[in-house]
Amino acid sequence: MKKVAIIGAGPAGIEAASILANQQVEVLLFEKSLNTLSNMLDKAYLFPDFSPANDLVDKLNKKLLHQQITLFTGTEITDVKKDGKEWKVIDAKGMSYIVSAVLLTSGYSVFDAKRKEELGYGIYNGVITSIDLEKMIKYNQIENSMGDKPKRIVFLQCVGSRDEKSGNNYCSKICCVTAVKQAIEVKKLLPDTDVYIFYMDLRMWGQSFEEMYRESQEKYDVSYVRGRISEAASTFDKKIQIKAEDTLLGVPLKMTTDLLVLMVGMEASCGTKTLAETLHIKGEYGFAKSLNCHLQDNETTQQGLFIAGSCKRPMGINETLADARSASVIIMDYINAMQENDK
């Protein structure tokens, strides 16, 4: 039997499904949301090339139109068990599916900004997250709490990442470049709005990220302040007042802004945490753990159980797709070896 179950129809799950299907593997692809690519739907433009997120969504969804792929949307996988040489995948309604191998691509969710009460998310309308801003950009509706065009927007990096208090000591990797990308998008839509980014370090690790950072300053006049915001509160006229420290100048500062954007980090999704725990492959912070981060980064301690994408650690789409392709090669090897042994 050449049948693989893939849990999660995000970029990783779809890319792997398409590659395996092209190799004549029967793929059962499970997605708990009613739509595939649930984490992509509210995105406007993607770093690093500012391509419309919808284009990628359409291209990935087209890959699913393959006779070897059966897509189950609105189907949450709640349990996975080894069944002799095979695997049994069980959904929330108790339906079970027998397959030769399982690929976990259950992805990430974003840090709940309400956990940083001092920053006022969920309390003041002028405090929003990067996800909220992404939607505003997508629908060209960037407004302050009074429904007016904001005169000033302040971004705060590392919300729920690199933060002992939140229990997340790791860097989420994608939020620095997302802030730079969003700041440029804001300036394209609202050239007269002042934009400030408060950061600890700017991690411009990817190809053309550094150039984007330079361009944000030279062409779009985005200002960068090295420092952390310790507190946000509402003013009488419904603006947001922030208390911060400029750590380069070594001075405390106060500033008012129309919008404070919290750059929320990536955490293991609920599905990732639960399934990684059940399958005994839980790594740090609830992400799924591979056997070896250099040579066996798609394999796990369980034979026939593979992992790919942001269920392992924070990563952008390019890395996610490349990881899904690498998992597909390893899964093909595994299935072919199983068939040889059965002869």
Ligand X SMILES: Cc1cc2nc3c(=O)[nH]c(=O)nc-3n(C[C@H](O)[C@H](O)[C@H](O)COP(=O)(O)OP(=O)(O)OC[C@H]3O[C@@H](n4cnc5c(N)ncnc54)[C@H](O)[C@@H]3O)c2cc1C
Q: Using CB under 6 A as the criterion, which residues of the chain lie in contact with ligand SF4 when the complex forms? A: 157-158, 161-162, 171-173, 175-176, 200-201, 203, 263, 265
196 versus 334: smaller Cβ distance to ligand SF4: 196
With CB cut-offs between 5 and 8 Å by kind, which of ligand SF4, ligand X, none does residue 2 bind? none
- Of 18, 21, 28, 38, the residue at the interface with ligand X (CB under 6 A) is 38
Choice between 14 and 197, CB closer to ligand SF4: 197
CA distance linking residue 311 with residue 102, whole number of Å: 14
User: What is the distance between the alpha carbons of residues 329 and 298, in angstroms, rounded to a whole number?
Assistant: 10
- Residue ranges in 60-79 that form contacts with ligand X under rule CB under 6 A: 76-77
List 2, 32, 162, 203, residue binding ligand X (CB under 6 A): 32
- Please state the closest distance from residue 176 (CB atom) to ligand SF4, in A: 3
Residue 290 CB-density burial (10 A; 0-12 exposed, 13-18 middle, 19+ buried): buried
Please identify, among the stretches 279-287, 292-300, 314-322, 332-340, the one whose residues bind ligand X according to the rule CB under 6 A: 314-322
31 binds ligand X (CB under 6 A): yes
Query: Beta strand 26-30 with 3-7: parallel, antiparallel or unpaired?
Result: parallel
Q: How far is the CB of 294 from ligand X (least distance, A)?
A: 20
- How far from the centroid of its chain's Cα atoms is residue 258's Cα? 27
CA separation for the pair 65, 71 (Å, rounded)? 9
Contacts for 75 with CB less than 8 Å, ≥ 6 apart:
30, 31, 32, 91, 92, 93
3-state SS, residue 317: helix
Which entry of ligand SF4, ligand X, none binds 320, CB below 5 to 8 A by partner kind?
ligand X
Torsion sign (Cα): 46, 51, 57, 62: negative
- Regarding 10 and contact with ligand X (CB under 6 A), the answer is yes
Q: Which residues have CB under 8 Å from 8's CB, separation 6+?
A: 30, 31, 32, 104, 105, 106, 107, 271, 309, 311
The residues in 238-267 that bind ligand X, with binding defined as CB under 6 A, are: 266
Structural tokens at position 276 = 């990684």
Nearer residue to ligand SF4 within complex by CB, 128 or 171: 171
Binding stretches for ligand X (CB under 6 A): 7-13, 30-33, 38-39, 43, 46-47, 76-77, 105-108, 110, 130-131, 134, 174, 178, 266, 269, 271, 275, 309-310, 315-318, 320
